[in-house]
Structure 1
């Protein structure tokens, strides 16, 4: 999604139009692809097993990580694709530091740009709704506890993935829950992470003061010169950042790399004892991440940075593996102390430098 630049003397409301998240959710639900066809009985069984697996995953994750000991174990929300779209449309405005416009509240939408942005957001939500197996959402409010943060699991996507991989369903569902519960533990044990992410995302979404034409020109120059391949596979959206936003981009990338790599490390540490077929699942899932996409999917993946996320798993896990092997998990957990103890972007591939600087 891009933001149209407004003249400097335009009213303040016009300079920062709200995204019509109500329109985004409505459109996203309409165009999202349906999940696998199953009976109601089968889907109820999947929901029940995922809810149970999300609770069973909590204790071993806490034991391996040494995080979140003694905190309440919340109930996961098991959703279909439309339910995930609604949940995302509610939480994304909070992540970007804005207000949600889901529902009947047209006063939140300042002008037609909000509707245009809402339509773009709806298409993105529809695409993502078929790709996400689960996530921990630190920006929404849990219905039961009233506290920030909810664990979301998208049942039809988990079912589709386990069928594609020919995985043992109970093993695959627990394996997914181990990953997502690790994210829940990361954020619940370190509440400052949500604000840190929100602050840096807000910096990224600030108006950079350049026109759409300037932005497109810079993207074309970057792609033609090969600079789009700097720092790995990053995605075209990241080329749109103005120079003053690049530090925030680096911090967001490092945080995402650390969170994903830590979760993969925990899955491998816990998996063999709890998931008998974990080696087969890991091999199949890694191949699934690397599989070729059709041209449209490749374009969308580049635009929203999904290939960067895939790279995060590999680089982040290598960082965590190396640090834990060298100093142990207790010393590694120093990384969660503050923004200053987060790895620098150059340290992700050189964990010894992080150890020397921080420990």
Structure 2
């Protein structure tokens, strides 16, 4: 029986992909493998990522805001975007987070809710990676309940004055513009805050045990004064930032498959080479049972991701379906990462192999942009017609 090129090919799901999706997948995979993978362990250990350098290269490949139309964006299909996220996270979750926050949160917010001048000012530069964006919704005391946010914006003559704090913000301290959500007398609104605006600071969060190859920051708004045209004109209410989160969650559905694939491919390669009791580790039934179960779950996760991409392309994808995808795929990816670690034994804890790095990263992916419990409740509401969030 011929060996599979990768564990993700167990069910031959790649056969239904169109040429554009395959080309974007392969281009992204080559870039990650050749240019980024050799440095990932060092970046993770150092707790640093050269965001601007990587962003400019990603922009040159057309991967930033790639699913958006116009303003220098590629207008790629949902499947192609998902596969790019998969390949990026097969490298490291921090890479996919960079692209998700840039394209599906910051750029998407401007693209969908911004005025024409705002779009022209920011989107072309963000698409090339010359400008970096971040997305300020989560607060120190309000993560799963963003409706309780304390950041507020008040009118002062023709200006807006913003005050508050945002937390766990990817790209925050390297961003050129922050999309900040704040409470106003007319409800929750979005604002574009350029870096350098007096009163705005973004100290980096350090000493992380997860997503170390990613820049994570706090945003502090100390009476930040903005002109009236800093507000996103078409974003009114909490539904606006939540729609941005759904865009990013879709990428996570695919990204988690990439992390799981990298772990399982590593475990298979290791088992085929490692000898124990005078036999290859892969020849033991206990090892094959582990690999088989992981391969089946990986295939199911990929099938789910592709199905959701089809629904998104058809304009039929619903929020509770995205929740089902994120809940299942991240949960199974963590299980695959942990089980792969057992195949590698003590070597599994070393940065010479990616499995524990992926496992640690996925602990963050499990809780950001909606914890597992929140997504369970979204699904529960869809099944019962009753909200149980309180």
More helix by share: 1
TM-score of the superposed pair, with normalisation by structure 1: 0.32
TM-score of the superposed pair, with normalisation by structure 2: 0.30
